[in-house]
């Protein structure tokens, strides 16, 4: 019996090795597919992944323009919690089409009408953390020198134009993501320090 098997293997060694390799590849493919799940096979991040949320946030971040600094200030305790800010954010979020993962990730905002001041500040801080974790950036400078690019990112508090070279204090910083402006900041001419 062993002589028959040895003879068969000797004559067909190439085919036996090829069949074993094919079997190993099929098993590997099936195990990998089972681990990933049928909905995750293909290009792009799986549904509900952090990559999908980040991509959707970057794509729709401009929808929340005008709310970034307000949310940040409430979350950091620099402003009192206001239902209107959280409500406006929830309404804008609800109006986005094709961003189910983003909506699910931020679904906690829908409970804003039940938050007291402490919980509201905590949730706005959580939302601010979400902004930063997903690519939004808040300008950290305290002052700038006005140049030709300034008015693309900042408005002047009193509405008067400042000349290039003027030192301006940043009252509220600008926000951006991936090189795109999300929210203009506000500057004001820096007060001259007196030497008295």
Given this model, what pLDDT does residue 20 score?
A: 57
**Core vs surface per residue 9-34: b (16+ CB within 10 A) or e:** eeeeeeeeeeeeeeeeeeeeeeeeee
Segment 120-167, tens digit of pLDDT: 999 999 999 999 999 999 998 899 999 988 999 999 998 888 889 999
pTM above 0.75, yes or no: no
CA-based end-to-end distance of the chain = 111
Ordered by start, the domain boundaries in the chain are: 50-136, 139-189
The answer to whether 146 and 162 have CB atoms below 8 angstroms apart is yes
Question: For the chain, which ranges sit under pLDDT 50?
Answer: 32-48, 194
């Amino acid at each position: 019996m062993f002589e028959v098997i040895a003879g068969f293997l000797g004559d067909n060694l190439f085919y036996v090795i090829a069949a074993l390799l094919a079997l190993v590849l099929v098993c590997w493919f099936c195990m990998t597919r089972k681990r990933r799940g049928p909905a995750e096979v293909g290009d792009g991040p799986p549904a509900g992944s952090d990559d999908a949320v980040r991509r959707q946030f970057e794509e729709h971040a401009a929808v929340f323009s005008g709310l970034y600094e307000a949310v940040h200030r409430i979350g950091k305790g620099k402003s009192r919690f206001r239902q209107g800010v959280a409500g406006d954010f929830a309404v804008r979020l609800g109006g986005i089409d094709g961003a189910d993962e983003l909506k699910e990730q931020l679904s906690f905002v829908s409970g804003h009408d039940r938050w007291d001041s402490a919980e509201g500040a905590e949730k706005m801080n959580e939302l601010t953390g979400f902004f930063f974790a997903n690519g939004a950036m808040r300008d950290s400078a305290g002052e700038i020198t006005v140049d030709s690019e300034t008015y693309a990112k900042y408005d002047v508090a009193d509405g008067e134009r400042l000349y290039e070279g003027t030192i301006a204090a940043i009252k509220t910083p600008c926000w951006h993501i991936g090189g795109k402006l999300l929210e203009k900041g506000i500057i004001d001419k820096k007060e001259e320090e007196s030497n008295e």
